[in-house]
Amino acid sequence: MENVDLHLHTTASDGSYTPQELVIEAAKRGLKTIAVTDHDTVAGIVPAMEQAKELDLEVIPGIEFTTYVDNQEVHILGYYIDHLDKTLSTKLAELKDARRTRGEKIVEKLNELGVKVQWQTVQEIAGAGAVGRPHIARALVEEGYVKEFSKAFDKYIGDDGPAYVPKTQLTPKEAIELIDEVGGIAVLAHPGLADNNEIVNEVIESGIEGLEVYYSKHTSDMIRKYVKLAKRYELLLTGGSDCHGPEHKGEVLLGTVKAADWLVTDLKEEYRAKNGINLIDFDKYLKLYPKTSGLYPEELQKIGKEYHQKGYLTKDELYNLAHLNSTRSSYHVKKNPAYRVKKVTEIVYQLDDEFSQLTLLVGLTGIGIPTASAILTSLNDTEHAVIDTRVWATLHQMGYFDVEKESFTADDYLRIMEIIRKLALETDLSTAKIGYALFAYDVEHREGTLH
C-alpha cells in the first residue's frame, strides 16, 4: 500500500494549511500515515494529533532542521522525536530567537538602504511562525519595493544581496545529535535538491540514519542513485512531498509522493530498536483483563449507564467513564462520591483542549488521582480505559519511559494517551483494549495492591 507522506509543513512554520486542515486534507486523500515536519518547530504536532484522533490516520511527530555546511543549506528531518521534551523546546526557542534577531537585522539593513519596509508588516506576514526571508520578501512586494517575490532576493536579501545577514548556523551533525538526544531518527531531506556528493557523504559520516529518497522534486535517476547509496550504508529510506499547502506556488503536493507503508514499518522498528522498546502480547493480556480488574468491561459500562439514567451528568460518556473508575472498588467509591465526580466533570468539560483539562485535573486536590485518571480515559468519544500507575508501569517495562511514577503531570497523561493511540493504530485494536491490556500486564507482573 502506498498511502504515506512523511514530509509536510503547516502554518506552524511556512505552510499554508493549519495543522488541523493538513490532517483533514490528508485523510480526504486516503493517506494513512503522515509526518508533520515543520521547519525548526514542533508547534504543529499536538494540534495535528488532536485532529487525527477521530480519523484513521497516524501522525508521526517530526521536524525539519535548517542546518548549514559552509553556506549551503542542508535540511535534516527528525522523526519520532519526543516533541514534549524540555531540552528540545529550549533549543528550539534559542534558534527562534536567533532567527528573529536575524530578521530584524535584515529589516534594519534594508531601512539603511532606503527601503523603508516595516518590521510590523513582516511580523504580520509571518504570523505565529518564525520570521524568515520569504516573509521579508513578501513584505517587500506588498509595500511595492519590488514587483515579484524573486526580485526581493535578487535585489536585496539573497545570499549576495546588500541586506543579507547570515543565519545563526546549526551544522548537520548538531541537528543529528539533538534528534538523537530526544529519541528520534535523523534523515537527510531531499538529497537530490543540492545533489552534492561531498555534503551527502559528510552527513552520512555525521551519523544520519536515513535518506529521503522519494521526494516530489526527485527524478527517477535521483531516486535510483539514493536508493543505492542508502543500501550501501544501510540507511533507512523515507519519502514525502514537502507540501506547503495551497498558497504555495499554486499546487497542493500533499499525497503526491505516495511512499509505501513499509517505509513507516522500517522507521518504526528502527525507532523501537534505538529506544529499547519491546511490545507486549496485546491479545494475550487483553484476555486476562477481566480477571485482573475484578470487573468485566461490559459490567462497568452498565453501571455507568444506570447512574447516568439518574441524571447526574449532561455528558453521558464522561459520567459513565468517570463513574466506572469510581465504582471499580470500595476505595474509589469512598474517595469519589457521585456528587464530586459530577462537579469535576462539569468543570472539566467547560475547557476546550485536552491539555487544559489535564492540567486542571492534575491540579485538583481532594479529588484524587483515581477520579482524574478515570476522566482522562476518554480516549475518544465512545471508548474508555483506565489510565493509572499500572498503565505507566507497563509502558515503562516496554521501554517508553525511564522511570516509574506514582503521580502524573498533564504532560505525562498526554504522553500516555499518545502512545496508546499510536499502538491502537498499529495493532488494529481499539484504544480502550490497548488500555486494558497494558493494565492487565502490570497486574500479572507486579506485586502490589489493586485499588
Pair 385, 377: CB distance under 8 Å: yes
Total residues at interface with Zn ion (CB under 5 A): 4
Instruction: Report helix, strand or coil for 7.
Output: strand
Among residues 194, 268, 192, which one has the least CA distance to residue 229? 192
CA 24, 29, 35, 36 torsion-angle sign: negative
Among residues 338, 337, 339, 357, which one has the least CA distance to residue 348? 357
The one among 189, 204, 237, 434 contacting Zn ion by CB under 5 A: 189
Please identify, using beta-carbon distances, which residue of 69 and 117 lies nearer to Zn ion. Answer: 69
Residue 68: burial class (beta carbons within 10 Å; 0-12, 13-18, 19+): middle
Give the chain's end-to-end CA distance (angstroms, integer). 45
Q: Does 218 bind Zn ion (CB under 5 A)?
A: no
Site for Zn ion in 237-256 (CB under 5 A): 242
Q: Does 75 bind Zn ion (CB under 5 A)?
A: yes
Report the run of H or E that residue 339 belongs to, with start and end.
helix 338-348
The span of 105-113, 143-151, 235-243, 270-278 binding Zn ion (CB under 5 A) equals 235-243
CA distance 24 to 260: 20
CA distance 88 to 90: 5
CB of 212 to Zn ion, least distance (A): 9
CB of 61 to Zn ion, least distance (A): 15
**What is the per-residue DSSP string for 411-428?**
HHHHHHHHHHHHHHHHHT
Residue type, 88: L
Residue type, 415: R
Q: Does 14 bind Zn ion (CB under 5 A)?
A: no
Of all residues in this chain, which one has the CB nearest to Zn ion in the complex? 75
Please identify, using beta-carbon distances, which residue of 58 and 242 lies nearer to Zn ion. Answer: 242
Please identify, using beta-carbon distances, which residue of 199 and 295 lies nearer to Zn ion. Answer: 199
The span of 186-194, 196-204, 255-263, 371-379 binding Zn ion (CB under 5 A) equals 186-194
The span of 47-55, 183-191, 268-276, 436-444 binding Zn ion (CB under 5 A) equals 183-191
Instruction: Report helix, strand or coil for 143.
Output: coil
Q: Does 74 bind Zn ion (CB under 5 A)?
A: no
CA 188, 51, 423, 404 torsion-angle sign: positive
CB of 219 to Zn ion, least distance (A): 17
CB of 77 to Zn ion, least distance (A): 8
Please identify, using beta-carbon distances, which residue of 35 and 410 lies nearer to Zn ion. Answer: 35
Please identify, using beta-carbon distances, which residue of 209 and 212 lies nearer to Zn ion. Answer: 212
Please identify, using beta-carbon distances, which residue of 189 and 252 lies nearer to Zn ion. Answer: 189
CB of 8 to Zn ion, least distance (A): 8
Q: Does 34 bind Zn ion (CB under 5 A)?
A: no
Binding site for Zn ion (CB under 5 A): 64, 75, 189, 242
